[in-house]
Chain A
């Protein structure tokens, strides 16, 4: 939803989170987790770079 330009307030509302800060925190954690996964998997990074 963040990538589709929904505001943090809209994300919090849709996911029934208590507030925007929670939505921001979740976005941060998930995005960081994805980046860390990519960092640990250089093979996948190479494949993705070829495709994307």
Chain B
């Protein structure tokens, strides 16, 4: 069973994000689709596991119960709580394994796979701010959101260097060039953004520059050094991702 095929709908159903009509359809399908029913059951069970395994207060309670168990020699309730602790410990171990051990058992991903893992197009919420484009940047953002990369490049080319929006334009140009698979141009654009002092875009420029190097299969010692610098800078917005990427590349 491919749980991921059902995950979104189940999640939306449980978080109340489905419309009344969609909820009713979902409930109807639960009765007729065995895979969906199983996936939904696993979803509910996983929530229960998380409830027990993650909630801080309950963990404290479990520790207290365990301590009480040591002090009390007898009592059926203690035995059942102990068994609960054993099972929950197992579940917690599984979670720890999933989070920390899995990367060590997986084959090293290719540069393209690493790029796909870390690359993100500019957020849609930022791209659809206004309904009518008022300037070249807005028009380019809209084109990017619609994956009309050539149109975006055309709009962004209207913004000359020296314009206050030039660095921002170069940032979006980098993404448009990735969309067009023009990686040298994407690299140039992000390099320019990375070298700027534009707070909102500079770190994004550094990070995306490295991702383009990965995708273009042009990873070298300079890229490695830049990635290490980002990873070691706790204040860098992409420090966590850089650390993760460094680990995956070793």
Contacts and interface: CB of A to CB of B under 8 A. Distances in A.
Interface of A: 3-4, 15-19, 21-22, 28, 30-39, 44-45, 47-49, 51-52
Interface SS of chain A: helix, strand, loop or mixed?
helix
B116 interface: no
Nearest to B53: A3
A3 B4 contact: no
A34 B96 CA distance: 11
A3 B51 contact: yes
A40 B58 CA distance: 27
A52 B46 CA distance: 11
A35 to B, nearest CB: 5
A34 B55 contact: no
A16 B59 CA distance: 25
A48 B120 contact: no
Given A15-B240, A37-B98, A3 B47 contact: yes
Interface of B: 1, 3-4, 7, 11, 38-39, 42-43, 45-52, 54-56, 83-84, 87-88, 90-91, 94-95, 98-99, 102, 120, 123, 234, 237-241
Q: Which of A16, A39, A52 has the most CB of B within 10 A?
A: A52
B240 A32 contact: no
A27 B188 CA distance: 34
Nearest to B102: A33
Contacts of B7: 28, 31-32, 35
Nearest to B7: A32
B45 A32 contact: no
Contacts of B52: 52
Contacts of A51: 83-84, 87-88
Given A16-B239, A30-B99, A44-B90, A52 B49 contact: yes
